Every structure is written in C-alpha cells, then in structure tokens.
Structure 1
C-alpha cells in the first residue's frame, strides 16, 4: 500500500495539515517540526501523488505529441520510435508522461490540439513535421498552449525551436557521389509541404548547382516505403536515368534499393544510393546503406527538455542547435558506371 499523508502524520505525531505544510515547503510549522516530518516521510518511503500535486497547481504533468501521418508510419519509419523514446527518457526523469495522438482525418489535427488544451490533459506540446506557413503556430497561440518546434518555422513563431541542420549532410552526400564520378544524381524528396522536405531538396539543388550539374532528376514522395519505390521507378524510367539517388530518409532509400535490385540493377555497380537518418537496420542491408547519421533520440530528449524548461521558467527563449548530421559511407555507393544506364527489365513497382 502507498504511504499516505495520514501515515506520516501518525508516525510523526502531528496533524495532517502540519505534514502538508512541511512537505510543500509552506510556512506554518517550526523548522524542527519540519525536519522531523521530512525525516519520517523519508523513512516511510512516502512519495507525492502526481494527481494530487497536479490538481493543487493546475498542472497535468504531461506533454502532448500530435502526429498527422498514417498510423502505420509510426511502426515502419524508424525515426518516430527513436524520437518518442528520446522524449520518454527525459519525461521519466521529471515524472511527466507523454500523450500521443494520431490525427489523419480532415480536421482531426486541430481537434486533437483543442482537446488537449480544453481538457487540460497536457501542459505543452512538441510540434513535429513543421510545414510551410504552418497554421498550428497561430492555433497554439490562440489556445495559449506552450510549445517547442522541431526546427525553426519559416513564419513568425513565439516558440523555442530545437534545430538540426540537415543541409550539410545532404550536401556531403552529393559531394561524395560527385567525387565518385557521378553527374546524373537524382533526389527522392519527402513531402514538400514540410520544412525538412524542402530544406533537403534545396540542399541537393544547391550542391548540384555548385558543381554545375542539372537538377532535373527530382521526384517528390511522402517518406513512406511505397512512396520511395514509386518515386524510384519514375526516376529509373526516365530517358536519361540517374546513376545515383539521394533519398530524404532511410525508409524510402531502402525500398528504392530493393526495387532497383528487383529490376536486375546492381547496387552500387549500376546505381549508387544514399539515405538519411542512419536507422539501425540499414547497416544490415545488402549492400549496407550509405546514409546521413542523424540522432532522432537526441532530438526527442532535447525537445522535451526545452519544453519542460519553458514550463518551469528556466528556458532562455533561445533556439537549441544540435550537432549537424554527418555522412556515413557504406557499400551502397561506388564509382559511376560507364556510359550505359541502369534501365534493365523496366517495370512498375
């Protein structure tokens, strides 16, 4: 049975009111009595009730995360489990919990944020998948909901951001492929409504432009495996297909690599491939995937920490910048093939 205030009061020989004053650091008891109560509480193993504490200070002791993507993606895209694990590891240290909502139906996302706010279910939210002209910023301001964003939105935002610059990693992947002799380097991007989808495409375009190379080999996708395979098929069916493809995440790169191999295309002999995120499974592919080594767990830990600091008034308001991801070279990239192009056994995915 959990030790209660009544138990502490009985053991210390004082009233429950005196115990409450002592445990909450309030005046009303002498220093000697306070010390005795605290010692008895420690000996009995008393722990505060978060529910009671939350009611007394109007806090939920919970943070919210609303994901507006297909629920299946949470199980297939390794970014989200690692990111959520990072959040949870920080929250556990502060006796907070995470409230996760998956909102994909029209209007469901806004309803989810309003429900979290109106019901007092969370004290703040972590905003992922920041979009161009993100309407959620205004919504959260209206709801007076504290928040932290992953990367700085492209419009005005009063919320601190935890930033991880993805441009250097993408540029490094392109430069790596150019050094291997590739000139037809494609890019399979994520949704262009997302800030990180756009930034990775622009990083690819800039690196190609600096080398004087064309940027016509682009296909927009949705960060999913099926989307990656379909975009790969579109690129490989071009009259002048790429000899290398830079993907915006590992999931699309993995499905793209598998699809290309199903057409008899050798990786990396005919086609070089790079991913993004450094999901654990990518080192076990055949061949292992060259990728950009981001750290979603660190991102989750820092996002939760910044939001908690904001809630307790200790955050400075400045954005937090995490180390830029680095290129991790494995065996899915190699020298550019001769003039022949990888178009064997053309078929749809």
Structure 2
C-alpha cells in the first residue's frame, strides 16, 4: 500500500502562492495578513489536511514554544518530592493551552546549571522558571546577562531588587509552620524539634526561622533543629539523631513529607507509636501522606496552582507586560492523624 507524504508548511505556501513566513503569520496573528491572503492560506491548508505547528509559528514569532525548568537537586529529591510533580503538572496545563511545552533539566553542579541556562538563552527556550531560590542567588544576574526572560518562584515577597527585578511568584510559608507549632503546643508538647531543609534555600530558611519564632511565642525552646537534605535518607538520619538524645522530642516538624515519611518509618521500626508517643508533621501534602497509618498532618502548598501562575506570569512577561510580584496564596495546613497529646 502506498503511504502518502504528510503535507508541510512549504506545501501550503506553494499551494497558496505565498512564503512559508506568511503562512506562519496567518496562523500566529502576530502581524497583519490581508483577509484574502488568510482565506487562501486556510483553504490550501484544509485541502492538504495540514495543521499549523510550533515550527510554523516560530518562523514569524522567533519563539521556540518551549519554557525551561532547571532543577539543581539530588535526583532522588526530584523523583520523590511531591512538590515537583505537582508544580510541573500545573505548568503543563497552561502550556498546553498555548500549544507549548516544558523542557526539564536536572543538574547536580553549579557549572552544569549555568551551562543549561546558557543553552536555553542561545535559542532552545523562550524563557525559564527559577525554582529553589538561594541566598544571594547568582541566577538572577545570570539570566539578565544572557537576556533570558525568567520568572522566579519564591517563598517570600521580594523586596526591591531582591530577585534582580525579575517577575516573581511568591507564597508565604510562615503562617503554616506557625500553625503546626501551635497545634503541637496546644496538644501539650513542650519539647518539639524541627528537621529543616538545606539552609542555602530561602524556603528552608523561612520555615526554620518561623519554627524558632513560633516556639518562642509559646514560651518554648526552639533550638532543637537538625538540618536535612529534603531526601528520605536525610530524614531518617535526622530522626535517628533526635530520638537518640537523652531527652528526645515528643513532636517533630519536618520541612517536607519525604523526610517526615522516612521519620515515621524509623519510629515504627523502633516500636515508637505515632502519634501516641511521637507526633509528627510534614510539608507539601504528597499523595501518600493521606494514606499512611496514621495519616500525616502536613501542609498543602497549592503546587499545581503555583505552576499555573508561574507560566502565566512568564507568558505575560514574554508578551511585553511587567507582572512584578504575584502572590500565590494557596498554602494551607491539612490536619490529619499524626498529632496528638504527648504520653504522660
């Protein structure tokens, strides 16, 4: 059986008697094309059963139809942390509406990270989303130097110039951590620990600082903090370190669900009952957290919505708007069964 060759933008241009760029313009709407020419192009496309693609639009718009997302994390975190899958889902929802796609890059070194941004700026993507904001983050100056449009996802509202003047989608992690501490303190806990995320990350710092401040508000010592790496292994190690103390905590606030779940597993392996003997909480509201025994009290970050807002903000910037700072107000505590009164 003979297979017919699929029509191309060049075939449509030839049939309509125009250039390929004019075909692209007719579909993109970025610059005016006479109505008579448009109808001739559309008729040719229908006859040839051709549909406009990214490639056709790119001829007129100089865009790739792709947005870059660079994650500089341990691959284990990317595979297991609930935030990333949900955030990416939100990004893809909006990108699909615009017939665009997401280019995900996972790197483990700063050199590799810079190299990816340089390649994105060289024409592989129209812009980028900057996650995991660090103290004095060098990426802000880098993307500006490269001329790469970008939007920042942060855990606090940026002050003037803090994110290099880049559009920023921000949340406020503080109220949720403060509420978790309140729930534990009101349940009767006085020795509460925090398994924090890596200190270079702003969201880890904010959660840690909020924990310490909330403990002080309740007249409690907030110095019992162990730093993890957002990985299951680090969560298990940090939990072991805390439980091996002469006076172990009766409650632990974890900076993410992955570390909390591994901590719960360690407690079970030692015969420590949760929440009867140890109360715990997580952060990110992973799908698994609701199906543990007991179900994990955690914090929903609205990661899907944040992904949607981040892409819409970046697309607005690409269209010449100045979005500034945009609040993604979707962070809420999800109380479940992992916090109870301490054993007397």
TM-score when normalising by structure 2: 0.89
Greater shift in the superposed pair: 69-78 or 200-209: 69-78
Match of 1:322 in 2: 328
3-state SS, counterpart of residue 113 of structure 1: helix
**In 1, distance between residues paired with 2:28 and 2:243?**
67
The answer on whether the counterparts of 2:284 and 2:301 sit within 8 Å (CA) in structure 1 is yes
Distance 1:97 1:27, change over 3 A: closer
Distance 1:277 1:10, change over 3 A: same
Match of 2:125 in 1: 122
3-state SS, counterpart of residue 190 of structure 2: coil
Q: 2:261 aligns with which of 254, 257, 260?
A: 254
The answer on whether the counterparts of 1:126 and 1:148 sit within 8 Å (CA) in structure 2 is yes
Match of 2:18 in 1: 16
The answer on whether the counterparts of 1:63 and 1:122 sit within 8 Å (CA) in structure 2 is yes
Match of 2:105 in 1: 101
Determine whether 1:131 maps to 2:168. Answer: no
Determine whether 1:70 maps to 2:74. Answer: yes
**In 2, distance between residues paired with 1:215 and 1:138?**
36
The answer on whether the counterparts of 1:127 and 1:149 sit within 8 Å (CA) in structure 2 is yes
Determine whether 1:47 maps to 2:54. Answer: no
The answer on whether the counterparts of 1:83 and 1:296 sit within 8 Å (CA) in structure 2 is yes
Match of 1:311 in 2: 318
Deviations 1:7-36 (A, max 9, x none): 65677xx5234963755656674x445445
RMSD: 2.3
The answer on whether the counterparts of 2:283 and 2:300 sit within 8 Å (CA) in structure 1 is yes
Match of 1:202 in 2: 209
Segments of structure 1 that go 5 or more residues without pairing to the other structure are 339-349
3-state SS, counterpart of residue 259 of structure 2: helix
- Residue 322 of structure 1 deviates from its aligned partner by 1.4
- Residue 73 of structure 1 deviates from its aligned partner by 2.0
- Residue 230 of structure 1 deviates from its aligned partner by 0.6
The answer on whether the counterparts of 2:158 and 2:325 sit within 8 Å (CA) in structure 1 is no
Distance 1:265 1:23, change over 3 A: closer
**In 1, distance between residues paired with 2:290 and 2:32?**
60
TM-score when normalising by structure 1: 0.88
Match of 2:275 in 1: 268
Q: 2:249 aligns with which of 235, 242, 255?
A: 242
Q: 1:171 aligns with which of 172, 178, 198?
A: 178
**In 1, distance between residues paired with 2:13 and 2:223?**
75
Segments of structure 2 that go 5 or more residues without pairing to the other structure are none
